[in-house]
Structure 1
Amino acid sequence: MFFSFFFQKNQGPSLLTVSTLSVSYFATSCMDNCVENDALQLSEAEWDDLLDQFEEKSYLNARRWKPGLDPYKLHAFNQRECERTPSNRALRDTRHYRCTTLHYGPDLPPTSIVITFHNEARATLLRTIRSILNRTPVHLIHEIILVDDFSDDPNDCLLLTKLPKVKCLRNDRREGLIRSRVRGADMARGEVLTFLDSHCEVNKDWLLPLLQRVKEDRTRVVSPVIDIINMDTFAYVAASADLRGGFDWSLHFKWEQLSAEQRARRADPTEPIKTPIIAGGLFVIDRSWFNHLGKYDTAMDIWGGENFEISFRVWMCGGSLEIVPCSRVGHVFRKKHPYVFPDGNANTYIKNTRRTAEVWMDEFKLFYYWARPAARGKPYGDVRGREELRRQRPAVLLLLFTVVSPISLGFRLYPHNHHPVSEHNH
């Protein structure tokens, strides 16, 4: 493992490293600049004072968009409009009005929030963190762990450790979202893990309903309704609360409307929605349950397909997945990736989803190969470790494909009346 980790001074050593690279600069920087505080004991006023002390203008100006350049080139969204949007802007409360009448227990578990990024726009990353600090009860944030996946400028992450409860873990080589999240989770000390993307804005009271569901049942994995932050204007737009995650046999994620029957059964619009698959970018999970399930498959590369693998494991090992309508988090959806996949986007996705199919889909993997014939013969690495994990975790596969996700698969065992077994044999 190759990483450098920066702690606030009162929380242990200022630098923990097993890196083979020189880290003296980071050690000195963190020793000098990390904020000394225990945010669990801060008053709201003290919390606000710490936020005000952060030198935001200096942080943003160092990597600001320059007039005359394509504002979409670096990040695949409009960097000019992104930087015009205040880091602490007010957001319209997009929840159903009944959500404001709900009350949550006083003893919710604090969470470690893990955010991974690679060359993220500083304005977007800062706005993600500021929204968390502004809209989350102080006592519920155990820590915010930023995992910098070998960005070009280490200060993108390091300078943010001046903010309350922010820690910085920097990879010494490009690892991708999947391995970076595992590294962040391994460092976390909160009872609950919250995974967020680095281009989000959390909305009012976003965390409480998520923690409440996990507190009631530690095998629940819960996700907010994901609102839309427009990639061109950065306007915050409410998303429908009548959606759940779905997929087809090629393991392509898609949002699908709840059926009329399901909507009729939901008399209470604040009631959580069972979902076959989570989008993967934003979710909350009990830390011990995450570890018991086998974390992520760290032999997967960069990004893509990991949400299927973890979703299948949750359902098959006796847990459940939910979307919680009273939690809202905005997310910047882009039309293309702003970064390069070493083996190409398509090959990486095939490798990752093929690992999922080979380990977790049993005879149903034939449908995957029928729907994605390009996957046949493509390398997917050694899966013996994941197969051993599955042998140690009793799993019920048929439940997932015939009960949990009938809408996604169109109520058909054989898509479009084709029989993949006979096609495979011929």
Structure 2
Amino acid sequence: IGEKKSVCPILEADWDDLWDQFDERRYLNAKKWRVGDDPYKLHAFNQRESERISSNRAIPDTRHLRCTLLMYCRDLPPTSIIITFHNEARSTLLRTIRSVLNRTPMNLIKEIILVDDFSNDPGDCEELIKLPKVKCLRNDQRQGLVRSRIRGADVAQGTTLTFLDSHCEVNRDWLQPLLHRVKEDYTRVVCPVIDIINLDTFSYIESATELRGGFDWSLHFQWEQLSPEQKAQRLDPSEPIRTPIIAGGLFVMDKSWFNFLGKYDMDMDIWGGENFEMSFRVWMCGGSLEIVPCSRVGHVFRKKHPYVFPDGNANTYIKNTKRTAEVWMDEYKQYFYAARPFALERPFGDIESRLDLRRKLRCQSFKWYLENVYPELRVPKDSSIQKGTIRQRQKCLESQRRKNQEVSNLKLRPCVKIKGEDAKSQIWAFTYTQQIIQEELCLSVITFFPGAPVVLVLCKNGDDKQQWTKTGSRIEHMASHLCLDTDLFGDGTENDREVVVNPCESSLMSQHWDMESH
């Protein structure tokens, strides 16, 4: 790598003649959105808009100018590009593949391996083998992301593995800087900067460069800004950024290093948490993680999953992250459970083989990881777990959860004395983050005004609508300084009480709450 004048020219790919064998219109029309249907229903993005856009569209080059002056020689290793999918929209899947073929030097693509994770229509994958370099593997039952990626990696012939999601668009010269970093050091796992493809309009939007992956103790991934000190140290905007964790959807890794480190945890289900397990393992067992600013790939970020989790989205994520905590987080797993109290009783399968792998690889401790990789992650002072019913005389706070509802209501109902399924909707936990949670959902308010309803929504750390404190028998909403209360509504009977927030008054029995341990 060097200045443009000092290195060999890039080899541009030209696939136009090879596309003649593939009937793109017939492929797309077979699963086309129909007028009158909800364009978001099947894929949780605007299918209608995606189909209006050409699979061969131009996108803006979002790299820093410095990156455009860098060139890469032809002796970079060809890579196997692995794309797994389940019931992906044909328009986005095809655009992903075509962007790879259009914007990647031909000599750097060993193969494009599609792993169809038992989609409803086998033709989604099988018809694409007419495209250059494309191979198709189809699972005979639903396996999930982890096992599907392992299947693709096992048959890959390239010396490096490039994992992509099935709703991406790679940008100009995206692959060369990634392969270059891995060629320099095979223990590096490298990622592009992930630009945004808008789920409504499918416009391609540049993302900020100076970001890295981070997380909280509940093991929720989040993008975070580099600190002023870290920014000051980056004199060259093309310089890679060390990251404590990767998003997990898009990265390049040496195949032999992938195998040596134990691939993925095969007992993780469907999707979620595998990026934590991979990231901890890479750092703690001798490797490193980087984001390479000169590589840009667009990705459609959805607000929800369009596909079904056999055991439910939340249950699957908790199982996967619990396996990660039990194998890799040592004594610090107590903070994971303090943030996710309901994970304590969840089954997570046998982890002995992963513990054996960790011992065999002689990996560092999680304490080492915190001190050397992610010192910015604050260790909580309190890891106690307070869990039980929130009681008002003979009634208990109960969630009225309905399947597929994003917001759930709350009611006061007679307390269920017998433990079991019937009692779950009345069990709550106070966490050290000052949230009141039930499974993955948190008590929140609609507005900060008196009389505002209290509802149950997806937990989000740092959201001031979700933070509470218990003072004596009152539960106070921290941002509004209003107290948890009940108001009569409907027919005005005692059994018809709505849960709200109101100005705090110690004399009101409707604001007196007791926490009884479960």
Query: Does TM-score exceed 0.5, indicating one fold?
Result: yes
Tell me, yes or no, if the aligned pair for 2:13 and 2:103 is still in contact at 8 Å: no
- Aligned counterpart, 2:247: 279
More strand by share: 2
1:166 — aligned with what?
A: 134
Structure-2 change in CA distance of 1:418 and 1:169 (3 Å): same
1:406 equivalent in alignment to 2:367? no
- Number of residue pairs matched? 378
- Quote the offset at 1:422 in angstroms: 12
Measure the CA separation in 2 of the matches of 1:366 and 1:313.
19
Structure number with greater CO (CA < 8 Å, separation at least 6) is 1
Q: 1:156 aligns with which of 89, 103, 124?
A: 124
Residue 283 of structure 2, aligned match among 315, 320, 338: 315
Determine whether 1:48 maps to 2:12.
Answer: no
Alignment of 1:16-415 (within 5 A): 44=13, 47-397=15-365, 398-407=367-376, 409=377, 412-413=378-379, 415=380
One-letter code aligned to 2:184: E
Letter matched to residue 388 of structure 1: D
Q: Which shifted more, 365-374 or 288-297?
A: 365-374
C-alpha distance in structure 2 between counterparts of 1:405 and 1:326, whole Å: 24
Runs of 5+ consecutive residues of structure 1 not aligned to the other structure: 1-41
State the distance in 2 between where 1:290 and 1:126 align.
Answer: 27
The answer as to whether partners of 2:13 and 2:102 remain within 8 angstroms in 1 is: no
**C-alpha separation in 2, matches of 1:278 and 1:330:** 16
Query: Secondary structure at the residue paired with 1:279?
Result: coil
Q: Report deviation, 1:104.
A: 1.8
Return the alpha-carbon distance in structure 2 between the equivalents of residues 215 and 299 of structure 1: 31
Q: Does structure 2 retain, via aligned residues, the 8 Å contact 1:145–1:184?
A: yes
Pairwise CA distance, 1:43: 9.5
Q: Secondary structure at the match of 1:321?
A: strand
Runs of 4+ in 1 over 2 A off after TM superposition: 42-45, 419-424
**What SS class does the counterpart of residue 255 from structure 1 fall into?**
strand
Tell me how far 1:90 sits from its aligned partner.
Answer: 0.4
Query: Would you say the 8 A contact 1:209–1:326 is kept in 2?
Result: yes
Equivalent residues of 2:12, 2:104 under 8 A apart? no
- CA–CA distance in structure 2, aligned partners of residues 138 and 48 of structure 1: 13
Q: Distance in 2 between matches of 1:105 and 1:380?
A: 46
Offset of 1:106 from its aligned partner? 2.5
**C-alpha separation between the residues in 1 aligned to 2:144 and 2:382?**
37
Residue 317 of structure 2: SS of its match in structure 1? helix
Contact 2:79 2:158 in 1 (8 A): yes
Instruction: State the secondary structure of the residue aligned to 1:156.
Output: helix
Q: How big is the shift at 1:51?
A: 1.9
Tell me how far apart the structure 1 counterparts of residues 368 and 146 of structure 2 sit (CA, whole Å).
26
What amino acid maps onto 1:201 in structure 2? E
Q: Check conservation: 2:12, 2:103, Cα contact below 8 A.
A: no
Given that residues 341 and 385 in structure 2 are in contact (C-alpha distance below 8 angstroms), is that contact kept between their aligned partners in structure 1?
no
Asked if structure 2 preserves the Cα contact closer than 8 Å seen for 1:221 and 1:322, the reply is yes
Q: Is the 8 A contact 2:13 2:104 kept in 1?
A: no
TM-score scaled by length of structure 1: 0.87
Tell me, in whole angstroms, the C-alpha distance in 1 between the residues paired with 2:48 and 2:141. Answer: 29
CA offsets per residue over residues 321-364 of structure 1, 9 Å max, x none? 00000000000000000001011111100100000011111111
Partner of 2:403: none
Q: Which amino acid aligns with 2:300?
A: V
User: Cα deviation per residue 1:266-289 (whole Å; 9 max; x = unaligned)?
Assistant: 010000000000000000000000
**Does the aligned pair in 1 maintain the 2:334–2:383 contact within 8 Å?**
no
1: CA distance, partners of 2:355 / 2:264: 13
Higher gyration radius (CA):
2
Amino acid at match of 1:96: H
Cα offset, 1:52, TM superposition? 3.4
Letter in 2 for 1:401: L
2:382 matches 1:418: yes
Deviation at 1:227, TM superposition (A): 0.2
Which AA in structure 2 matches 1:59? Y
Q: CA deviation at 1:53?
A: 3.0
* Cα deviation 1:229-285 (Å, max 9, x = unaligned): 000000000000010000111111000000011001101000000000000000000
Asked whether the 8 Å contact 1:105–1:212 carries over to 2, the reply is no
**For the residues of structure 2 that align with 1:56 and 1:260, how far apart are their CA atoms?**
49
Contact 1:366 1:421 in 2 (8 A): no
In structure 1, C-alpha distance between the alignment counterparts of 2:240 and 2:386, rounded to whole Å: 40
Identity %: 72
Q: Cα RMSD (Å) of the superposition?
A: 1.7
Aligned-partner SS, 2:71: coil
CA-CA distance at 1:57 after TM superposition: 0.3
For normalisation by structure 2, the TM-score amounts to: 0.71
* Long gaps (5+) in structure 2: 1-10, 388-430, 432-516
Q: Quote the offset at 1:396 in angstroms.
A: 1.1
| Superposition deviation, residue 54 in structure 1 | 1.6
